[in-house]
Amino acid sequence: MHEMIPVPIVMRSYNDAHLIRQTLEKVSEQSIPFELYVFDNDSEDGTDQILPSFTGHIHNVPKGTYVPGKVLNEAMRTVDPRAPFVVFLNSDCTPLDEFWLQNLIEGFDDPSVGAVFSRQVPRPDCMPLFAKDTEDTFGDGSRQKYWKHCFSMASSAIRRECWNEEPFSETISYSEDIDWTWKARQRGWTIAYRKDSKVYHSHNYTYSQFRKRQRGEGKADAQIFEWSSWERSFLRYSFLPYLRQVKSDWSYCLSRKKIGAFFYSPILRFAQLQGRRKGFLEGLKELESGHLQ
């Protein structure tokens, strides 16, 4: 175990007063020493009144200035530079137990690991299809091998040595965590998943919110990964995944008697197809013009 220096935990927050106290209380129960730093994006819901009870390291990110990679890099420069690992936890990610942090940091026992991420568990009020997505992405980790790459900054830790080689991109607006860890893999680092480090984290998106998120992730996909003509085609990138997703949703819903979600699946997955395809094409266009934003 690496216990000589308290593990820096960086929390990003924005109007999460309804969840952040529970998250902070769970963080305070962790089994190993830590030091908490919060970067708050000008919350207006009382979050700023909760934070001082848990940490003196509070940094305000002025409204309109939040750029994910920029804030992550600032955090890395702010925490104790002697710490070999830095943990990142979103304010709406609530640890399930007192071993969340310890189990996460133990992922670095292998010196080739540049970053580690936790298992995310849907909250009890999570809508069925979003709960399914969370379990598919995380769960026991068995499905991750079928994807180009998998990582989530929401509950994670990175090795400072890996960050020193290349900081986070400050020009990409979505999936900065995927971009950074993918580049780390290209340099020879490995990414570890710790299913025993668990947090509650899920969202009940509206149709338009889900489509917007997918658009952002599709755009990042185009900019981060390399794509053959076949891989970027509508059939391969959009339509076949849509069919597979709906088929998987239907099996899930029938086994759990979620009839409403069964009928909603083709509609929700169309938002996913539409948003992701639009973003993907926007990303490709920016790449071709040489103007990344």
Q: Which helix (H) or strand (E) holds 247?
A: helix 240-256
> Which among 282, 290, 273 is positioned nearest to 174, based on CA atoms?
282
The reported pLDDT for the residue numbered 170 is: 92
Residues 18 and 46 sit within 8 Å (Cβ to Cβ): no
Q: Are residues 183 and 265 in the same domain?
A: no
Residue 235 token pair: 């059939």
Report yes or no on 60 lying in a domain: yes
Q: Are residues 216 and 84 in the same domain?
A: no
Residues of the chain with pLDDT under 70: 1-3, 291-293
Q: Are residues 182 and 217 in the same domain?
A: no
The reported pLDDT for the residue numbered 290 is: 73
Report yes or no on 1 lying in a domain: no
Residue 88 token pair: 């990142």
- Other beta carbons less than 10 A from residue 128's beta carbon: 18
Domain count, the chain: 2
The reported pLDDT for the residue numbered 287 is: 87
The reported pLDDT for the residue numbered 174 is: 84
The model's pLDDT over 214-253, given as tens digits with 9 standing for 90+, comes to 999 999 999 999 999 999 999 999 999 999 999 999 999 9
User: What pairing do the DSSP bridges indicate for beta strands 34-40 and 57-60?
Assistant: parallel
Distance CA 232, CA 265 (A): 24
Range list of H helices, 138-191: 160-165, 176-186
Q: Give the relative orientation of helices 240-256 and 128-137 as an angle to the nearest 10 degrees.
A: 110
Residues 61 and 41 sit within 8 Å (Cβ to Cβ): yes
Report yes or no on 211 lying in a domain: yes
Q: How far is CA 137 from CA 24, 131, 149, 249, in A?
A: 25, 10, 11, 14
CATH assignment of the domain containing 72:
3.90.550.10
Residue 147 token pair: 């994807």
Q: Are residues 95 and 155 in the same domain?
A: yes
Residue 222 token pair: 């185009």
Q: Are residues 105 and 244 in the same domain?
A: no
Q: What is the 3-state secondary structure (H, E, C) of 41-80?
A: CCCCCCHHHHHHHCCCEEEECCCCCCCHHHHHHHHHHHCC
Full domain range(s) for residue 140: 7-200
The model's pLDDT over 83-125, given as tens digits with 9 standing for 90+, comes to 999 999 999 999 999 999 999 999 999 999 999 999 999 999 9
Distance CA 38, CA 54 (A): 10
Report yes or no on 2 lying in a domain: no
Distance CA 78, CA 107 (A): 23
Q: Are residues 188 and 283 in the same domain?
A: no
The reported pLDDT for the residue numbered 64 is: 87
Terminal CA-CA length for the chain: 41
Sheet containing strand 7-13, edge to edge, reads 57-60, 34-40, 7-13, 85-90, 155-159, 113-121, 190-200, 94-95
